[in-house]
Amino acid sequence: MSISVDTLIIGAGASGLFCAFNTAAYGKSVLIIDHANKAGKKILMSGGGRCNFVNKQVEPCHFISQNPHFVKSALSKYQPEDFIDLVNRHHIAHQEREHGQLFCKNSAKDILSMLLNECHMAGVDIHLKTTVQDIQATDTHFLVTVKSQPDNRIKVIQAHTLVIATGGLSIPTLGASGFGYQVAIQFGHQIIPTRAGLVPFTFTDKVGEMIKSLAGLSLDVIAYNDKASFDLPILFTHRGLSGPAILQLSNHWQAGEQITINLVPTQDVYQYLLDAKRIHPKQLLRTALAALLPKKLISGFEPLFWQAYQNIELANLKDETMHHIGQQLNAWHLKPSGTEGYRVAEVTLGGVDTHDISGKTMESRRQPNLYFIGEVLDVAGQLGGYNFTWAWASGYACAQSIGVRW
């Protein structure tokens, strides 16, 4: 059995669905296939089920890539306001949170329903439970052999253009795989080594045990290394450190590197302790620090960092000792043993090398009429709706290119 379409999109996620109806708007016949049993699974779980569907403050600096200029053209063609207009046309209630993040008021289902409705209205066909067996390119089209469940029927799809929108490796329980990278390699592309991004850190030493004992505690910090700095909350968990500051920093961290956390970003702790020593000389250290930090955190830190001084009055603490304690709190150095990995990562760093992809159209420079969009590319956004922003922008650039060319 064979099917003939103008455009075949592999991947029914955010970028694939968005690209599909925008391509169909040019009068093209479009088919999406996906091995999952439902479209848009990652959309549904994003933003805690509320889908942080775009960020109003988008700049190229919010994206990580070996080719940092690559995102500029697509981001300029399709801007956050364009997607917000679409959301408003579908009467989806939404709210703006800090740092320009827009979330659904009700459910991420609203965004997925909008994308599926747009696809339906544009005449896009979606075939789920369909796996790719083989891809061949001729001078004029692609021949894609697929197997469909539940009957294991083999079909050959003939398509003039082929779009790879299969995402990265993050959250394999939702169907993530390296399929898109295999296609890229087949057609001569290089893959930038991949790793988990926007992901919590884990720790295995005594510090790790202390961190786990503080599970549930959250506080505003500055978390940084020699590449990036984030003034955001952290969250202590049963597995390690999470929260926005940590997730952001993980995009700029390599295994074996140290990170630093300023637990009291609004105060020079050493100076604070000097003042407390002068005003309240009989206070204990934990009492003085209670004005700056949660008591639970002080109790956790005490055995590791100042056990010898825990019952000594401030008047009897040397200034150099207070200086050392201040440094521990204003610049807590720690070395993660690793991350929680792709299991919970919100994005995949690395992917298809964009030096062989057109930034204006998302078309391969190695194989005519082959396109790569979304997270499969070596483009990873920061936390805050940037990865959806990239899905829309790259999908739109691709659709425009396909639509106007033939």
**What was the pLDDT predicted at 173?**
86
Give the pLDDT confidence of 353-401 residue by residue, as tens digits: 999 999 999 999 999 999 999 999 999 999 999 999 999 999 999 999 9
Tens-place pLDDT, residues 145-173 = 999 988 899 999 999 999 999 999 999 98
Which residues lie closer than 8 Å to 219 by C-beta, 6 or more apart?
233, 234, 263, 293, 294, 297
- How many Cα atoms are found within 13 Å in the side-chain-facing hemisphere of 81? 2
Looking at 244-294, which runs of residues are DSSP E strands?
Answer: 259-262
Give the whole-angstrom CA distance, residue 384 versus residue 388: 9
Q: Which domains does the chain have, with CATH numbers?
A: 2-194+349-405 (3.50.50.60), 200-339 (2.40.30.10)
- Rg, the chain, Cα only: 25
Bridge partners of 201?
241, 339
Beta-carbon contacts of 78 under 8 Å, excluding residues fewer than 6 positions away, are 392, 393, 396, 397
- Residue 340: which region, alpha, beta or left (left: phi > 0; alpha: psi -120 to 50)? alpha
Give yes or no for a contact between 114 and 92, defined as CB atoms under 8 angstroms apart.
yes
pLDDT at 139: 94
Distance CA 322, CA 305 (A): 11
The whole-number pLDDT of residue 406 equals 65
Contacts of 235 (CB under 8 A, 6+ apart): 216, 217, 218, 241, 242, 243, 246
Tokens coding 90: 């579908």
Tokens encoding 49: 């089920």
Q: Give the contacts of 230 (CB within 8 A, at least 6 positions apart).
A: 222, 223, 224, 244, 245, 248, 249
Helix 319-330 and helix 269-279, axial crossing angle in degrees, nearest 10: 140
Q: Count the alpha carbons within 13 Å of 150 in the hemisphere toward its beta carbon.
A: 0
**Cα–Cα distances in angstroms (integers) from residue 378 to residues 88, 197, 242, 302, 393, in the given order:** 31, 12, 24, 43, 15
pLDDT per residue, tens digit, the chain (406 aa), is 889 999 999 999 999 999 999 999 999 999 999 999 999 999 999 999 999 999 999 999 999 999 999 999 999 999 999 999 999 999 999 999 999 999 999 999 999 999 999 999 999 999 999 999 999 999 999 999 999 988 899 999 999 999 999 999 999 988 889 999 999 999 999 999 999 999 999 999 899 999 999 999 999 999 999 999 999 999 999 999 999 999 999 999 999 999 999 999 999 999 999 999 999 999 999 999 999 999 999 999 999 899 999 889 999 999 999 999 999 999 999 999 999 999 999 999 999 999 999 999 999 999 999 999 999 999 999 999 999 999 999 999 999 999 998 6
Contact 149, 35 (CB under 8 A): no
